[in-house]
Amino acid sequence: MKRKKSKFWSFWLSFVPGCVEMYMGFMKRGVSLFALSVGIIAVSSFLNIGEFMFLDLIVWVYAFFSARNLTHLEDSEIAILEDDYLFHLDGMEVMKNKLAGGYRSLVAVLLILFGSVMLFRVLYRMLQGMIPEVISDLLWNVSYYLPQIVIGLGIVALGMWLIRGKKQELLEDHNG
pLDDT digits (tens), the chain, 176 positions: 455 678 888 889 889 999 998 998 889 889 999 999 999 998 888 777 777 888 899 999 999 998 888 888 887 888 788 888 887 665 556 656 655 666 777 778 778 877 887 788 888 888 888 888 898 888 888 878 887 888 888 888 888 888 887 777 777 777 76
Whether pTM > 0.75 for this model: the answer is no
- Which of 138-147 are b and which e, b meaning 16 or more Cβ less than 10 Å from the residue's Cβ? ebeeebeebb
What is residue 1's predicted lDDT score, i.e. its pLDDT? 43
50/30 Cα distance (integer angstroms): 25
